[in-house]
Chains A and B, each alone.
Chain A
């Protein structure tokens, strides 16, 4: 039983990371019908940006701020203006393919300019455990969970409780009507891209001390987050959170109680079952399609 609790806590910590990344999938989908297959690489890159700034002799926390800023510029503004806007007019499929190419481009560029080898990355949370109800819980896991929860609370508050959030939702739900009522739709969409960029930078900051900074680390992460977004509901932020946490827990429990060799297959099975029996995802809403 104690083992089960440990596994669930560890799964929640990993799942929180997936959730942060998965939220990006849903945000971009809702506002601009964009599926970003480079989302995993978007999480990998900020860590290397921060490391590059640190190599210049800049202190860690300043490097983190610069890294987040650079991520917002490159992965938010740059991504939207240089790739999404020109490609979206050709349809969702060409854009999705372009993001796959972008993923390869980012990965290879990092390998070329930094290193193919893994590098250590400082943790924002100190090492060690604290005792909760007699269980030793790592500060790092708690830190990941806390930041993820705060980020999500902040995001949902912004979306549901502020005028800006309402404008963003209006822009996402019906851009034409939103424009008529005076919502600056383009600016709202840009804001979504910037939020995604900051979220992936946060995820990068949290996950890299555990997974190490490596050019290929986005592959697994992007895949897990994509599955999480679909399982939870691609059109709901809270669905992406639920999906991320669920995948994190299921992955750990599968490794412990089913088979370590087949652990990677279990989330896939979950995904297939979800598509078969509840295609809109756990918390997603069914969308009507016009023909």
Chain B
């Protein structure tokens, strides 16, 4: 009799444990990002966006009744450290891996996540990342193959530039952007008047800007990280270069505007995401973010926020928490604001993990991003 009661008790404990694992246990998500080092702006915005989304979702009961638990690890903006941190994170068997934000770090970590069969939702924008056939890698923003043709078209159609100086940072992100934009300029018959490679963390841009002046281009395309963007903008203003400055998100982000001050005025760029977009849901996100963190986020804050809502929408689409089926479900998925308002804009993921949604052309006017054009979703 005693053994029957004991067995009954054990079964009850095991069953309740199993039931807890199904419904009550938190969903573990691992984030590896650039919390320090050259990409600290990227990583900290990304992390804060994630934390805000998690807080909102948990406050409403979580995903399928389960709370989200996110662990944050610092890649120190170093691909080697990122790889080690991702390996450590994967050992903890997360539901989904988030980050890193730097393309170079994504490049070295993506094979690890793919091997573990864990979906990686990252912030890298280098074109090559989603072209290697990795079925577990997804973007939170446009890749360079989507954004650069739009920039080149703007330089050609709107600025009517015949020659452009290209300044790029010598890493995977910068090289990728430079390769795609140069190809596009060649296709449109725009001459690359100067092709200037710079270093991540570079402090002094006097020589680079002197070269730009000497080349006398019709426009300058700048594709370096945020802090370096601020430094080169200051130097460009100091040396009196008057050619239009065009870039991508990293040239016109909030942090760049804060660091560069007046020197950022006039800079233009294509941005996949901006908190100044004329979209009500994005404005509401911005307000919530500012209330929580007391500063205006850049696009990386939006990326981190959207990554969590991608996890929510995909999981709810599956109706279960299944890390193995996650990537399959996300491929080809369209998430509409009608069903998930916090995805902020309708978005579609293709078979490569690339993203399709509205984009924006912005200009910095008196220290603020002003959206000049809304570029529609392609499909």
A residues near B (Cβ < 8 Å) are 3, 6-7, 10-11, 13-14, 111, 115-120, 127, 129, 136, 138, 140, 210-212, 214-217, 220, 251-256, 260-261, 263-264
Please state if B201 and A220 are interface contacts (CB–CB under 8 Å).
yes
Interface residues of B in 25-46 (CB under 8 A from A): 35-38, 40-41, 44
Please state if A10 and B35 are interface contacts (CB–CB under 8 Å).
no
The CB with the most chain B CB atoms within 10 A, among A6, A119, A129, is that of A6
Nearest CB on A from B148, distance (A)? 22
Contacts of A260 in B (CB 8 A): 196-199, 207-208
Q: How many residues of B contact A (CB 8 A)?
A: 35
Contacts of B259 in A (CB 8 A): 118-120, 212
Contacts of A7 in B (CB 8 A): 206-207, 210
Contacts of B213 in A (CB 8 A): 3, 6
Nearest CB on B from A145, distance (A)? 14
Please state if B210 and A3 are interface contacts (CB–CB under 8 Å).
yes
Looking at the complex, which one of B36, B208, B211, B255 makes contact with A116 (CB distance below 8 Å)?
B36
Please state if A11 and B203 are interface contacts (CB–CB under 8 Å).
no
Assuming A216-B201, A252-B206, is B227 touching A116 (CB within 8 A)? no
Looking at the complex, which one of A129, A211, A253 makes contact with B203 (CB distance below 8 Å)?
A211
Complex: A256 Cα to B204 Cα, angstroms: 12
**Would you list the 9 A-B pairs with minimal beta carbon distance, nearest first?**
A10-B206, A255-B207, A116-B40, A116-B36, A256-B207, A211-B203, A117-B40, A252-B207, A118-B227
Complex: A3 Cα to B194 Cα, angstroms: 15
Contacts of B35 in A (CB 8 A): 116
Contacts of A211 in B (CB 8 A): 203, 231
Please state if B258 and A120 are interface contacts (CB–CB under 8 Å).
yes
The CB with the most chain A CB atoms within 10 A, among B199, B207, B231, is that of B207
Stretch at the interface among B15-23, B185-193, B234-242, B267-275: B234-242
Nearest CB on B from A254, distance (A)? 8
Please state if A111 and B36 are interface contacts (CB–CB under 8 Å).
yes
Nearest residue, chain B, Cβ from A261: B197
Assuming A260-B198, A261-B170, is B203 touching A220 (CB within 8 A)? yes
* Any A CB within 8 A of the CB of B261: yes
Complex: A14 Cα to B208 Cα, angstroms: 14
Complex: A117 Cα to B196 Cα, angstroms: 26
* Any A CB within 8 A of the CB of B230: yes
Please state if B206 and A214 are interface contacts (CB–CB under 8 Å).
no
Please state if B206 and A14 are interface contacts (CB–CB under 8 Å).
yes
Contacts of A115 in B (CB 8 A): 40, 44
Please state if B231 and A212 are interface contacts (CB–CB under 8 Å).
yes
Please state if B231 and A117 are interface contacts (CB–CB under 8 Å).
no
Please state if B207 and A210 are interface contacts (CB–CB under 8 Å).
no
Can you list 19 A-B pairs with a CB-CB distance of less than 8 A?
A6-B206, A14-B204, A115-B40, A116-B36, A117-B41, A118-B255, A129-B240, A136-B239, A210-B203, A211-B203, A212-B230, A214-B227, A215-B36, A216-B38, A252-B204, A260-B196, A260-B207, A261-B197, A263-B207
* Any A CB within 8 A of the CB of B59: no
* Any A CB within 8 A of the CB of B128: no
Please state if A136 and B44 are interface contacts (CB–CB under 8 Å).
no
Contacts of A254 in B (CB 8 A): 207
Contacts of A210 in B (CB 8 A): 203, 231, 234
Contacts of A11 in B (CB 8 A): 206
Nearest CB on B from A172, distance (A)? 33
B201-236 interface bits toward A, Cβ cutoff 8 Å, 1 = contact, 0 = none: 101101110110110000000000001001100100
Contacts of A217 in B (CB 8 A): 203
Looking at the complex, which one of B44, B199, B210, B227 makes contact with A256 (CB distance below 8 Å)?
B210
* Any A CB within 8 A of the CB of B287: no
Contacts of B38 in A (CB 8 A): 216
The CB with the most chain B CB atoms within 10 A, among A251, A255, A263, is that of A255
Nearest residue, chain B, Cβ from A257: B207
Assuming A212-B231, A214-B227, A260-B198, is B240 touching A136 (CB within 8 A)? yes
Complex: A159 Cα to B175 Cα, angstroms: 51
Please state if A216 and B207 are interface contacts (CB–CB under 8 Å).
no
Please state if B210 and A251 are interface contacts (CB–CB under 8 Å).
no
Please state if B206 and A212 are interface contacts (CB–CB under 8 Å).
no
Complex: A14 Cα to B205 Cα, angstroms: 11
Complex: A138 Cα to B237 Cα, angstroms: 10
Assuming A120-B261, A212-B227, is B238 touching A140 (CB within 8 A)? yes
